Amino acid sequence: MMQPVPPDRLDSAIQFVELLRAAVHEHEVPANIRNRAAGSCLAISREHYKGIVLLIEHQIFAPAFALLRVEFEAYVRGEWLALCATDDEVSTFVNGGRPPEFNVLVKALEETSSFEASVLSLIKRSSWDTMCGYTHTGGIHIQRWNTPDSIEANYGPEEVLEVLYFAETIGGMCVIGMAALSDSEALAVRVGGAIKANAAKWKTDL
């Protein structure tokens, strides 16, 4: 039987969801097509993060793990639309066209000052295959549904905590991205401080 997330960790996660929700509640950004496209991706990514927390709260782990790639991908697309896409690319995307491949988005973002530390590439190199395996029910996900005696959820507690922390970090970065759409340095600094405090308290080395 899997062990539930410790109550204090779960309470903290739920509080962080609310902190980020309150931070952008009625936050205004200039109403143009680029901001609407980028802001929608960032808001959707944050909604995926909230979904991950709620699923983990109810010990529904398979979809929580599956949403991790979806959250990350929506975040990267939102930042690409905000910082890199041409006007034609924004219009094409909003009208249902496909954006460039994910590697192209990451490369373009890391040519900007906001992402020159290459954190996105590091995440992709270290975690993308695993995230895809969880999203698309690959072998790594099948492994988490087998025990010596049965087919049932068998995620390691450390894995669940790692997913929770990663989801929180991307959720916070989404709000910083929203702040950038309106040049709200105060909001970015406030949420950046919350992310650092959360990292100091809960970050894993896994």
Mean pLDDT of the chain: 94
How far is Cα 170 from Cα 166, in angstroms, rounded to an integer? 6
The alpha-carbon radius of gyration of the chain (Å, integer) is: 17
Q: Which residues contact 50 (CB under 8 A, 6 or more apart)?
A: 17, 21, 171
- The pLDDT score that the predictor gives to residue 95 is 96
- On the question of pLDDT at 16 being above 60, the answer is yes
Class of residue 182 by CB neighbours under 10 A (exposed 0-12, middle 13-18, buried 19+): middle
Cα torsion through 148, 52, 98, 43, rounded to 10:
180
- The pLDDT score that the predictor gives to residue 206 is 37
For the whole model, what pTM was predicted? 0.94
Q: Do the Cβ atoms of 108 and 78 come closer than 8 Å?
A: no
- On the question of pLDDT at 204 being above 80, the answer is no
- The pLDDT score that the predictor gives to residue 4 is 76
How far is Cα 89 from Cα 177, in angstroms, rounded to an integer? 19
- On the question of pLDDT at 157 being above 70, the answer is yes
Residue type (1 letter), 122: L
Average pLDDT of span 154-159: 92
pLDDT digits 0-9 by tens, 26-61? 888 998 999 999 999 999 999 999 999 999 999 999
- On the question of pLDDT at 143 being above 70, the answer is yes
| Angle between the N-to-C axes of helices 61-83 and 33-57, in degrees from 0 to 180, rounded to the nearest 10 | 160
